Amino acid sequence: MMKEDNIIVCRCEDVTLKDIRELIKRGYTNIEEIKRITRCGMGPCQGKNCGQIILREISMITGIPVEKLTLQRYRPPFGGIKFSEVLGENNDEK
Amino acid sequence: MMKNKASIVIIGGGVIGCSAAYNLSKRGLKDIVLVEKKFLASGATGRCGAGIRQQWGTRQNCFLAKKSMEIFENFRDYVDTKIDIELKQKGYLLLAYSDKEVDQFEKNIFIQHEYGIPSRILEPEESLEIVPFLNIEKLKAAAFCPTDGHANPFHVTAAYAEAAKKNGVTILKDTEVLGINKSKGRITGVETSKGLIETEKVLNAAGSWAREIGKMAGLDLPVFSERHEILVTEPVNSILDPMVMSFSYNIYCQQSPHGSFIMGYGPENEGHNHRINSSCNFLENMSKKATWLLPPLKKLRIVRQWAGSYNISPDKQPIVCESEELAGFYMAIGFSGHGFMLSPAIGIYLTDLILKEEPPFDITVDLGRFERRETISEPSVV
């Protein structure tokens, strides 16, 4: 069995399973709260990796069925976009 | 088990409500209940630009900002918390684009020095020593205070809330205030979605919903809410030390200790409402503004944009007082975009107000100032 602090839940922001479990036990049982404190879901993937895992953890600790929980809100622009792209400038860097 | 009796009900789990809850509990008040409709910092606190500025143009703002920064600097001891608030003190660089603006900055700095705020005027070329890639075209001068900076609003709020809980404060999340009961001109209780809480005192710290909470108590509070948009980039290595800000060019932009750039500007022609959606218009304007001023940003990826509500008062200065019409109804509202940075000092001020002690600071932040025509003319607001 891998150690909780060796399991990365959020690859954008390097958040471990241990971090998540500790926060839930401290009373942060809403994924939006966990996002704000750990930045899970604030990276380029917007929670597509960590979201489901966090919901499962919240469900296991609080007993609330996972289908009653909602994912983090996705924010525009829904994927990284460079300022130069917004400005319509050519992007020489690929 | 729902707590149905309280010495005071604090409405709002933003940084102001949590700072007040912590300070009141620290001073020994028991049976404090804080009610939050969603979760902590879910409103304006958690949507703000996370800047902490001491460069103000009025004495009381300089005082409150300096006092607040002293607390942010010693937060772990002051609040007895292990939470890291991610304080960064690399300054605020305020850009002036007209002689009038330079004059104003010079006047402000004179006042700031009275309070020990170490600000100074910089020539455009000197600004380049602080931000080497700053576009100094049209720049007349800049004001710089090296101890201004940034802290993480979620962590500050969580630290206040957790310390308050340790002191016995009850925090009810996912609990909406539905009404405020009165009898014979006194508050008797707060109706919530989870039941009635009997109390004689209420603190309205509802941020963008402050006006609606006032209405529940029969009060017409002169504040409105206005959408302010903001965006953040992917994190990169540290290249920008200070918050770069300009009132006339209308921008603020900082790099958080995490590495992401956070930026926004004050909107025009926004209605008075609770809209907090994001717009393409903002994305485009922000991109133009930011990359003109800080050209290397062009290569950065924007990862999220969002918005929050400023709760704005007639003079864009906070209203912190007990209502003269309804005893026991306290308010800390209308921060007009500066609630987070002032929250440590405001929490202390509120505590003395509520405990009926001598006010610890000589400031004019009451509601009566509008009738007395003593509005605060603070030149340094967006």
Q: What is the dihedral of CA B231, B95, B147, B306, to 10 degrees?
A: -10
- Compute the count of residue pairs across chains A and B with CB atoms less than 8 Å apart: 71
Range of the domain at A65: 4-86
Clarify whether residues B161 and B63 are in a common domain. yes
Q: Does residue B306 belong to the interface with chain A, where contact is any CB pair within 8 Å?
A: yes
* Residue A45 placed within a domain: yes
Tell me, yes or no, whether A31 lies in a domain.
Answer: yes
Strand B224-233 to strand B261-264: parallel, antiparallel, or no bridges (unpaired)?
Answer: antiparallel
Residue A26: closest C-alpha in chain B: B162
Sheet holding B224-233, edge to edge: A81-82, B301-312, B224-233, B261-264, B251-255, B243-246, B92-96, B141-145, B120-122
CATH number at residue B296: 3.30.9.10
Q: Answer yes or no: do B230 and B325 share one domain.
A: no
User: DSSP assignment of chain A, as one string?
Assistant: ---GGG-EEETTTTEEHHHHHHHHHTT--SHHHHHHHH-TT-STTTTTTHHHHHHHHHHHHH---GGG--PPPP-TTSS-EEHHHHTT------
Name every chain A residue with its beta carbon within 8 A of the beta carbon of B258: 39
Q: Taking Cα atoms as reference points, which of A48, A43, A65, A47 lies closest to residue A56?
A: A65
Instruction: Test B297 with A33 for CB contact under 8 angstroms.
Output: no
Q: How far is B140 from chain A (nearest CA, A)?
A: 27
Cβ of B303 and A33 within 8 Å? no
pLDDT digit string (tens) for A7-60? 999 999 999 999 999 999 999 999 999 999 999 999 888 898 899 999 999 999
Q: Determine the pLDDT at residue A79.
A: 81
Q: Residue B255 forms beta bridges with which residues?
A: B261
* Structural domain contains residue A92: no
Scan residues 35-94 of A and list those with Cβ closer than 8 Å to B: 36-37, 39, 42-44, 46, 75-77, 80-84, 86-87, 89, 93
Counted domains in chain B: 2
Last residue of a domain, one of B296, B312, B328: B312
Q: How many domains does chain A have?
A: 1
Q: Are residues B235 and B166 in the same domain?
A: no
Residues of chain B with pLDDT under 70: 1-2, 382
Q: Are residues B118 and B160 in the same domain?
A: no
Do B190 and B212 have their domain in common? yes
Strand ranges (DSSP E) for chain B? 8-11, 32-35, 51-52, 92-96, 120-122, 141-145, 149-150, 170-172, 177-183, 186-192, 195-198, 202-204, 224-233, 243-246, 251-255, 261-264, 301-312, 319-322, 329-333
pLDDT digits (tens, 9 = 90+) for B282-306: 999 999 999 999 999 999 999 999 9
Asked if B304 lies within 8 A of A82 by C-beta distance, the reply is no
Q: Are the C-beta atoms of B281 and B307 separated by less than 8 Å? A: no
Q: Is residue A32 part of a domain?
A: yes
- CATH number, domain of A19, equals 1.10.10.1100
Residues B50 and B159 in one domain: yes
| pLDDT for res A94 | 47
User: B139 and B194: one domain?
Assistant: no
Residue at A9 is within a domain: yes
B84 and B182 in a single domain? The answer is: yes
Residue (of B95, B382, B107) closest to B243 by Cα position: B95
Burial of B200 (0-12, 13-18, 19+ CB in 10 A): middle
Q: Same domain for B236 and B382?
A: no
B57's tokens: 């143009």
**Tokens coding A59:** 């469900």
Radius of gyration of chain A from Cα atoms?
Answer: 16
Closest Cα partner for B39 from B158, B142, B130? B158
If asked whether residues B124 and B254 sit together in one domain, one would say yes
Residues B190 and B302 in one domain: no
Q: Residue B183's domain is classified under what CATH number? A: 3.50.50.60
**Residue A56 falls inside a structural domain:** yes
Q: Of B235, B233, B221, which Cα lies nearest the Cα of A14?
A: B235
Token pair of B120 as six digits: 């100074």
- Domain match, B183 and B39 both: yes
Distance set, CA B154 to CA A48, B46, B85, B139, B195 (Å): 22, 6, 8, 35, 28
Spatial separation of the C-alpha atoms in residues B305 and A81, rounded to whole Å: 11
Structural domain for B40, as ranges = 1-89+148-223+313-382
Q: Which positions in chain A touch B284 (Cβ < 8 Å)?
A: 86-87
Give the C-alpha separation, B161 to B168, whole Å: 11
Region of B194 (left: φ > 0; alpha: ψ -120 to 50; beta: rest) is alpha
CB B76 within 8 A of CB B91: no
pLDDT of residue B158: 97
Find the CB nearest A75 among B173, B284, B305. B305
How many alpha carbons lie under 13 Å from residue B56 in its C-beta half-sphere?
A: 23
